[in-house]
Every structure is written in structure tokens, then in C-alpha cells.
């Protein structure tokens, strides 16, 4: 055995390992003082444990090391307390993610459901290759893991990205059952709290410097399918472009469900599109502040919906007579521009995905991007995308810029005195077929994009089952206004319909809650419950309330008076306003023209 004087105890900390000289008769309190002096901590600024998983804490007491069974050469584990440790200075690989050290994270319902699923791909007995009994299993029929790449590649069509939960199964599989599995959010910022040198730009060290990033194709995706409940949702959204020629943007509200075509897959189901205030032209979109944003999210939550993504149009008419559009987004140009990738990254950072395996409590995002654009057959197609977690990090830390003259290229910022930017690389093949690493200045945005199939069901579904159409918000430029006159017209068309079907319209419910004359923010909860559960009795109960009686009274008051701003009929059909100060619809091609013009911009025929 080692002599009394020569005993050495090793202490592992986030800053590395140090050896502390001690004796068997030394007390735990004396050892803690030595450790504090060696590591530069206050005596209460850290905790020391016998085990890596923060069990067997050594307290400051008079027990000797021999009584605590600490022998020569033993490894102890030091963890700084929350107040003394700097952000980002935590053990990277050695900390097992046990329940005691994990923040309690409330994951989404779909994530909780998929975590409990088996997820394995069961196969039938192969009549040619299996030579065993009905209860036996062999290599040809044993269940496959959900992340089996060979199985995914042989699906029709092949699946390039495994689902996120399949990726988690891959991480947490094996002998350790995911004890050491951890998802790290990428950071492109200098770690704060480094005291060995002056702050950037005067100084930097390897401890606080962010690592260089090499862009790779992400092996998994957080959402595997996007499904619009029915064609009406998309058609009403596209109506704005059809009538004005200007592009349009909207937020997708819906829910996340299981996507059964891929093992442990997630589907984003779209039930409604909310169009926020925006300034749009034929080739640009600009979002403006939306005072109703919080109210919309609140109403959607009470209806059992959440914001699952955003959609925008990029359409250019080719032949107005047969309704074709140009096929502009393809492998020769781009699928998403750098500016759109940055916007998608911004939205994904706003709507991060709660995750129990991440120290930060969140990892990636389930927020999707949908583009309505021309397809190879010159018809309108809906293409779904997300950007990778690497792109989210570059956008969050403001390291990525678009190129002005090439929409398919991004540009990684260079470091300056205000901001340190780590080097960003991507790999490509040179003319000889060799893999070569390039600096991401410029950067092809295909390295940042994950494509998602976008579908419509064979049998349409309707969360909102109203057959009549209440005008969509923020379409005043079309003359489609939301006011009590349009509400009176809407209600007069629905006299024979059940009350639940009348009010089961997302845009009507938004108007009832957010209108300036009589907002029903506090008293509409019962009606939202009725729409959510399709309960006609609940809807009839709410109909008898004084709020609805007041609304009917308001409608009857304004019902006979035509609204001055009503350039469109209540059904959405074009009407030609007599005033030359309003937009007018061409009688020949129905294009909406700016006021003051006598020839149609689209077909050049006269207004009359």
C-alpha cells in the first residue's frame, strides 16, 4: 500500500483533471479546502461526488478519507454550483443524463406518445428463406429497428431522412440504454465568463472559442409529412394571388399527429391559414407588426390547434387563358433562396422543439415552410421544407447573410471587432471526383435544406365545417373587409344551416374575438369548446347568451346599409366599383388592376 504521505487523489472537473496530495488520516473538510485552493473556487462554490452521476457527495465534515473509503489513485468528480459556473462550462461527454440532473421538460403530446411506442418494423415469415416454425424468428424475419437505413432506402418512394424519434432510438439504443446520450445545440458565439484574457476582439482562447462548423446533410427530420386537411384551405389562400398578381404569406395552424408511412414519423396537419398584415408586390413580401398575433395564438390553442408552419407563394402566370404558371424553382435555379432559408431559420428558432435529451430543454424545431410555386406540369404545386439545425444556429447567432445577385447562395459572415464568427465549411467534389472542403463564402443553400412531402388526403377532412365563406382577414386591398355588414350578409346566407356549422369558420371566430366594435375575448370560451368538440348543444347554449343577441342586433342595424369599402360581394365574386379610386376587375381576364388605369395590365384590353 502507499505510504501515508504519498497518497494522491484525482479530481475531474469541467476544466480538466488535477491531482491532490493527501493522507488517509486527512479529513474530508481539509480535502475540500485543498481542492478549492487548487481550482480557484470558494469553499461553497462547488460539490464533489464519488460517482460521475452526482451520487455519493463528499460533505465538509471531520470524517477521514479512510472512513469514506477513498483510496490512493481514486477519481472524484467536481461540479461547480450554478452560481459560480459560467454559462457553457459544463462537462461535455462525461455527464450522464440522469433524471436528477435533467431539467423537467414538458414535451409535445405527439413526442410523449411516440416515446411510448415500440417503433420496430415487424416482418412476416419469408416463404423462401425462413426454414423454421411459426413461432421462430431468423435474420430474414426478425423485426427491424426504426432507423434501419436499408429499409428506408427500399421504401417507395425512398426516404432520405429517418424520423427524429427513430434517430433518438438510435442514440439511446445499445448496452448503455442512452445513459450518455445527449443532444447538443450548436453555438456560434464566444462562451462568456472566460477570465484568463481580455474579451474579444482583444483576446480569445480555445476554451471560449466556438468550434468551426462543417455543414453536413442532416440524417433525420423533425417532421416527415405535411398534410392540408382539404383543398379549400389552399384555394382560398391562392385566391389573393389570382385576383391581384401579388404574392402572399400566411401562418399554418393545425396539429401534429403520427405519420404511419415512416417508423415513428410525425405529420403536420394544417386546418387553417391565418394571413397577417403584410405589404406585397409581384416579387416581394414584407411582414408588418401584427397587433392581433397573441389573440390568434390564444384562440387557436383553445381550438386545440397550434402554429405548425408558414406558407408563401412564388407564382408567375404563364398563360392566363388556361391558368398555367411558370416552373421557376428547379435544380437549375433554386428550391429555397438564401433569404427564405434565413427567414425559415428565424421562425424555427422562435418555435423550438421541447426535448428531454437536451441540456437546454429544447432541440431543433417542428415548424415547417411551405412554398406554393409552379411545378414541372406548369400547375401550382405545394413544396414543403425545413432548414437544418446547423442553419438554425447560424441564423440565431447572426452568422449567415443572403447574396444580393444569386438567390441560391448564402454567405458566412467574416469576424469583425463586434462579433467573432467561426469558420463555416462545406464539402463538395472537384472536377476529378475527390471530396474537397470549401469555405462557405459563398455557400450553396442546398446544404441547409431538408425537403418534406406535402400532401392532400383522398377523403377531405374539415376541422372547420362551414360551407359559406367568411372574408379572410387583412384583405382590404381586395375590398374584402371584415365588418358587421359582411357578418350580416354571411348570416343571411346561412339561415337554414345548423348554428355550429355557421360559426365553424376560423376567420369568423377571429373576427368575433378581435373586432373593435364588440370583441368577445372573455365570453367566447364556450363557443370555442363547441367548435373544438363539434358539440351542437354547447353551441346552442352559447347562442342564447346576451353577447350573441347583441351581435345579431348590430348586424340587423347595419344589414341594410352597403359598406362603403365593399368592392367585392360577400361571396367573393368580383364587382366593378363605379369609383375610379378603387381597384377594378378586368371583364376579360378578371385580373385586379390598380385604380386610375383604363387598360388591363395583364391582357391590355380596355376597362369597358
SS3 528: helix
> What's the CA gap between 402 and 286, in Å, rounded?
16
Nearest to 28 by CA among 61, 76, 77: 61
Report the pLDDT value the prediction gives residue 65, as an integer from 0 to 100: 84
- pLDDT band at residue 297 using 50, 70 and 90 as cut-offs: very high
Give yes or no for residue 567 having a pLDDT over 70.
no
Q: Which of 15-19, 383-387, 404-408, 547-551 has the highest mean pLDDT?
A: 383-387
> What's the CA gap between 123 and 121, in Å, rounded?
7
Give yes or no for residue 566 having a pLDDT over 50.
no
Kindly state the helix (H) or strand (E) to which residue 533 belongs, with its residue range. Answer: helix 525-533
SS3 527: helix
Over range 493-512, report the average pLDDT. 89
> What's the CA gap between 423 and 439, in Å, rounded?
7
> What's the CA gap between 29 and 527, in Å, rounded?
65
Are 12 and 77 within 8 A, CB to CB? Answer: yes
Give yes or no for residue 322 having a pLDDT over 80.
yes
| Cα angle value 511/512/518 (rounded, 5°) | 110
Residue 426's DSSP bridge partners are: 215, 438
**Hey, how many other C-beta atoms are within 10 angstroms of the C-beta on 93?**
7
Cell of 205: 482562447
Over range 199-205, report the average pLDDT. 86
Query: What are the backbone dihedrals phi and psi of residue 542, each rounded to the nearest 5 degrees, phi first?
Result: -70, -35
> What's the CA gap between 35 and 11, in Å, rounded?
8
64-122 pLDDT, tens digit each = 888 888 888 888 998 887 654 443 333 343 344 444 345 578 899 999 999 999 889 89
SS3 67: coil
Report the pLDDT value the prediction gives residue 100, as an integer from 0 to 100: 38
**Hey, how many other C-beta atoms are within 10 angstroms of the C-beta on 601?**
13
Report the pLDDT value the prediction gives residue 31, as an integer from 0 to 100: 86
Q: Which of 157-166, 306-315, 527-536, 598-607 has the lowest mean pLDDT?
A: 598-607
Nearest to 306 by CA among 221, 349, 220, 366: 366
> What's the CA gap between 552 and 491, in Å, rounded?
9
Q: Which of 222-226, 245-249, 479-483 has the lowest mean pLDDT?
A: 479-483
448-495 pLDDT, tens digit each = 999 999 999 999 999 998 888 899 999 998 888 898 889 999 988 887
Q: Which residue has the cell 352597403?
A: 562
- pLDDT band at residue 27 using 50, 70 and 90 as cut-offs: confident
Half-sphere exposure of 94 (CA within 13 A, CB side): 17
> What's the CA gap between 243 and 297, in Å, rounded?
28
| Cα torsion through 379, 384, 388, 389, rounded to 10 | 150
Q: Which residue has the cell 471560449?
A: 208
Q: Dmax over Cα atoms in the chain, in whole Å? A: 109
For 319-347, letters b (16+ CB in 10 Å) and e give eeeeeebebebeeeebbbbbebbbbbbeb
* Segments of 105-263 assigned E as strands: 162-163, 213-215, 220-221, 225-228, 249-259
> What's the CA gap between 310 and 291, in Å, rounded?
18
Report the pLDDT value the prediction gives residue 83, as an integer from 0 to 100: 52
Nearest to 50 by CA among 14, 10, 17, 90: 10
CA 285 to chain centre: 21
- pLDDT band at residue 313 using 50, 70 and 90 as cut-offs: very high
Q: Which of 195-199, 260-264, 342-346 has the highest mean pLDDT?
A: 342-346
Rg (CA), the chain: 31
Q: Which residue has the cell 410555386?
A: 373
Report the pLDDT value the prediction gives residue 87, as an integer from 0 to 100: 36
**Hey, how many other C-beta atoms are within 10 angstroms of the C-beta on 204?**
17
Nearest to 424 by CA among 409, 416, 435, 414: 414
Give yes or no for residue 579 having a pLDDT over 60.
no
| Cα torsion through 245, 251, 254, 257, rounded to 10 | 100
Amino acid at each position: 500500500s502507499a505510504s501515508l504521505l504519498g497518497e494522491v487523489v484525482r479530481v475531474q472537473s469541467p476544466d480538466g483533471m488535477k491531482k491532490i496530495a493527501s493522507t488517509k488520516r486527512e479529513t474530508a473538510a481539509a480535502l475540500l479546502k485543498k481542492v478549492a485552493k487548487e481550482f480557484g473556487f470558494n469553499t461553497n462554490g462547488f460539490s464533489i461526488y464519488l460517482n460521475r452521476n452526482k451520487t455519493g457527495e463528499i460533505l465538509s465534515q471531520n470524517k477521514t478519507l479512510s472512513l469514506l473509503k477513498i483510496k490512493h489513485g481514486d477519481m472524484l468528480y467536481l461540479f461547480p454550483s450554478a452560481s459560480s459556473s459560467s454559462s457553457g462550462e459544463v462537462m461535455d461527454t462525461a455527464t450522464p443524463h440522469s433524471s436528477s440532473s435533467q431539467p423537467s421538460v414538458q414535451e409535445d403530446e405527439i413526442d410523449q406518445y411516440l416515446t411510448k411506442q415500440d417503433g420496430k418494423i415487424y416482418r412476416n415469415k419469408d416463404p423462401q428463406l425462413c426454414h423454421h416454425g411459426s413461432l421462430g424468428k431468423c435474420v430474414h424475419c426478425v423485426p427491424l429497428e426504426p432507423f434501419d437505413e436499408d429499409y428506408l432506402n427500399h421504401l417507395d418512394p425512398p426516404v432520405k431522412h429517418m424520423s427524429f424519434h427513430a434517430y433518438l432510438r438510435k442514440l439511446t439504443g445499445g448496452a448503455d440504454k442512452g445513459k450518455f446520450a445527449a443532444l447538443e445545440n450548436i453555438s456560434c458565439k464566444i462562451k462568456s465568463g472566460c477570465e484568463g484574457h481580455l474579451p474579444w476582439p482583444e483576446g480569445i482562447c480555445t476554451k471560449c472559442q466556438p468550434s468551426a462548423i462543417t455543414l453536413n446533410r442532416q440524417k433525420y427530420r423533425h417532421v416527415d409529412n405535411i398534410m392540408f386537411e382539404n383543398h379549400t384551405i389552399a384555394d382560398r389562400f391562392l385566391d389573393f394571388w389570382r385576383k391581384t398578381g401579388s404574392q402572399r404569406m400566411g401562418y399554418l395552424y393545425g396539429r401534429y399527429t403520427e405519420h404511419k408511412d415512416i417508423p415513428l414519423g410525425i405529420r403536420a396537419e394544417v386546418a387553417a391559414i391565418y394571413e397577417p398584415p403584410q405589404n406585397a408586390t409581384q416579387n416581394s413580401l414584407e411582414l408588418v407588426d401584427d397587433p392581433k398575433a397573441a389573440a390568434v395564438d390564444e384562440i387557436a390553442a383553445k381550438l386545440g390547434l397550434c402554429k405548425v408552419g408558414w406558407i408563401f407563394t412564388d407564382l408567375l402566370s404563364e398563360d392566363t387563358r388556361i391558368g398555367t404558371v411558370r416552373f421557376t424553382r428547379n435544380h437549375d435555379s433554386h428550391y429555397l433562396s438564401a433569404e427564405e432559408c434565413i427567414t425559415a431559420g428565424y421562425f424555427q428558432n422562435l418555435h423550438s422543439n421541447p426535448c428531454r435529451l437536451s441540456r437546454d430543454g429544447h432541440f431543433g424545431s417542428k415548424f415547417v415552410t411551405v412554398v406554393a410555386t409552379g411545378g414541372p406540369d406548369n400547375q401550382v404545386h405545394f413544396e414543403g421544407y425545413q432548414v437544418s439545425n446547423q442553419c438554425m444556429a447560424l441564423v440565431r447567432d447572426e452568422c449567415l447573410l443572403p447574396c444580393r445577385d444569386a438567390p441560391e447562395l448564402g454567405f458566412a459572415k467574416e469576424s469583425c471587432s463586434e462579433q467573432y464568427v467561426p469558420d463555416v465549411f462545406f464539402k463538395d467534389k472537384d472536377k476529378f471526383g475527390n471530396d474537397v472542403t470549401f469555405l462557405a463564402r459563398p455557400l450553396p443553400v442546398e446544404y441547409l435544406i431538408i425537403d418534406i412531402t406535402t400532401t392532400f388526403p383522398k377523403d377531405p377532412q374539415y376541422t372547420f365545417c362551414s360551407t359559406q365563406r367568411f372574408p379572410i382577414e387583412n384583405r382590404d386591398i381586395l375590398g374584402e373587409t371584415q365588418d358587421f355588414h359582411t357578418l350580416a350578409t354571411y348570416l343571411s346566407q346561412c339561415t337554414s344551416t345548423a348554428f355550429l356549422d355557421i360559426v365553424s369558420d376560423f376567420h369568423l371566430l377571429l373576427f368575433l374575438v378581435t373586432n373593435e366594435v364588440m370583441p368577445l375575448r372573455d365570453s367566447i370560451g364556450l363557443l370555442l369548446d363547441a367548435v373544438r368538440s363539434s358539440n351542437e348543444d354547447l353551441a346552442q347554449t352559447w347562442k342564447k347568451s346576451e353577447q350573441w343577441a347583441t351581435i345579431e342586433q348590430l348586424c340587423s342595424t347595419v344589414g341594410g346599409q352597403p359598406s362603403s369599402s365593399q368592392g367585392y360581394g360577400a361571396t367573393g365574386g368580383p364587382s366593378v366599383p363605379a369609383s375610379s379610386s378603387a381597384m377594378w376587375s378586368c371583364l376579360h381576364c378578371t385580373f385586379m388592376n390598380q385604380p386610375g388605369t383604363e387598360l388591363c395590365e395583364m391582357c391590355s384590353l380596355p376597362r369597358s
